[in-house]
Amino acid sequence: MSYDVDLFVIGGGSGGVRAARTAAATGAKVALAEDSRMGGTCVIRGCVPKKLMVFASEFRESAHLAQQYGWSATAGDFNWTQFRTKLNDELDRLENVYRNLLNGSDVAIHDARATMKDAHTVSLSNGETVTAETILVATGGRPVRPDQTNAHLGMVSDDIFNMETLPKSILIIGGGYIASEFACILNGLGVQVTQYYRGAQILRGFDDEARGLVADMMQEKGIDLHLGTNIVEMRAAADMDDDMRAPMGAPVPEAGPDAVGKPVWVKATNGDARVYDAVMFATGRAPNSHGLGLEDLGVQINRRGAIEVDDYSKTAVDNIYAIGDVTDRIQLTPVAIREGMAFTETVYKNNPTKPDHELVASAVFTQPELGTVGLTEEQAREIEPIDVYCTSFRPMRSAFADRPDRVLMKLVVSKETRVVLGCQIVAEGAGELIQMVGIAIKAGLTKEDFDRTYAVHPTMSEELVTMQNPVRSA
């Protein structure tokens, strides 16, 4: 049977674009549909704009630090409008880069929503239909609001980048990496930040010791973090009588004239009740799998909404594949890109390739950052006997300025093989450091290999190769 194209990719994020380009490079005729902005979550409303906001938020602390080193430095006021304008210009530039890459690869772009008419036919929201031998779903994920009365009054992470003005106060609900990163970012930009998390400690799933230090440092920097706390009720502040705003007698901060949207009154499980200029939900993400017509074709979607795939990213329908966050395997951009490349190797290069999901390094861009690769201490001790090498200290840069910042360096080592099973770093620049450590751990190096490596002095990271004795075994 003859088809319009060999491959149709649904989704123009990093994974979909990489798969489309690499497939086209083999001679395949490829088309791609994206109903929003090209570049997807990471480029337009995730990693890239978030990291630029991280950079912006660090300068106030840098100015304070500079004073301790003899500079007459002040951070002044942050101009959100100026930053946001430049940020949007940069995102426009990056979107054009992605479009140019696709055009340069002879990938046909459809700026439309795509749904499945049948296993080989894509219906586009502009009225067109395209037939394809193979379909690749790379639609990513989206932030979700909780099923709660008046949840529409709160923002989600996508909305942060579109704020017309910066709020004076914000309540962030959630304890994952998105909630914690934005708590640090907005705090650094001068916003009064309160964070509620219903669990016992933020950053669930990360190393206990590492996330504990991150939480301590966040509070040290002024974030009002409440653990074991959730919201009971939220209403538009304009709908509340003055005597209802703070039933426990707590002070009610006035919403500033430049507040984002309408101020929100929130009551918490701890009895606190107050008004915030803005509320942000960072309580989870969901795969963008529904409404595509996949279930009707026999594609299996699990309870979380993720498309189920085999080791080669193939769904239950032979010619339909899925990669990236819509499969809910590892929600990281570099993983989606690797899955896209493995798809091309498997389908168009006759080289069946499984995406490698083992020992993937990652970073949480809190302040301080948390870098991690391999097993946490808690995970490792459930598998085998381990030695833990760990040190925590004030780095030279902060100690000289009499700042309270602390660093954590931790190696988790197999007692039997001496292989380093995992590494955790909490420090400024931990994301940069963990990339290099990730290479060593991916290579299966032992603690003795680390020990044979000379230290670069004076640096924080030299501790990774100078820790001689385990602090504990398990």
Determine what percent of the chain falls in helix, strand and coil, rounding each to the nearest 5. 35, 25, 40
| Helices within 161-293 (DSSP H only) | 177-188, 208-220
Tokens of 79: 């101009």
Q: Among 409, 416, 408, which Cα is nearest to 450's?
A: 409
64 catalytic, yes or no? Answer: no
Rounded distance between C-alpha atoms, residue 463 and residue 392, angstroms: 10
> How many degrees, rounded to 5, is the angle at CA 328 between CA 182 and CA 121?
120
Of 100, 101, 108, 112, the residue nearest 132 (C-alpha):
108
Whole-number Å distance between alpha carbons of 32 and 122: 11
- Whether the CB-CB separation of 116 and 271 falls below 8 Å is answered with no
3-state secondary structure of 333: helix
Beta bridge partners of 427: 369
Q: How far apart are CA 308 and CA 302, in angstroms?
A: 7
Question: What DSSP character marks residue 260?
Answer: S
> CA-CA distance, 200 to 353, in Å (whole number)?
40
User: In terms of Cα–Cα distance, which of 285, 301, 284 is closest to 116?
Assistant: 301
For the record, the structure tokens of 153 come out as: 């009054």
Catalytic residues: 457
